[in-house]
Amino acid sequence: MIAAIIRTIGLPACLVALLLVYYEGLPGAARIPFLSSVPVIGDLATGRVHAHAADEVRRATADLVARAKLRAVEAQLERERVFRRAADNAAREAVVRAHAAERAKDEALADLEDLIAADTGDDGAVWTEGDLQWLER
């Protein structure tokens, strides 16, 4: 049968037809589901042009996905940096408030000790050493 086809249309025409099928694929065969996933038959069914285009689409899609992931990670990193700066500022403000509270406490204790030292009345409300220790706890 193949010999009859070669005698009828000639060897060069058969080679051109085979090359055309190799590059462009079998007409209509690409519409058959899952035929393109069969290793050798899939290449003939879809053709090299379609396979190359599919490879390029996969490569471009992978590149776009990688860029999108990179942008997402960069955005997340910037968000974490903003949170870190806010936390550092809050910590600095907390230290300043703690020092101010410590100074206010020391001033209040000094004022209390001045008032205790100034209390020399004989009304029975005199601060003893035990009272001072109790207040410090």
Instruction: Please give the tally of structural domains in the chain.
Output: 1
Q: What is the pLDDT of residues 58-117, one digit of tens each?
A: 899 999 999 999 999 999 999 999 999 999 999 999 999 999 999 999 999 998 888 877
Q: How far apart are the first and last CA of the chain?
A: 110
Q: Is 24 a residue whose pLDDT tops 70?
A: yes
SS3 category, 10: coil
Residue 130 domain flag: no
Residue 15 domain flag: yes
Identify the domain containing residue 36 by its residue range.
2-118
Residue 78 domain flag: yes
Residue 18 domain flag: yes
Buried b (16+ CB within 10 A) or exposed e, 31-44: eeeeebeeeeebeb
Residue 13 domain flag: yes
Residue 134 domain flag: no
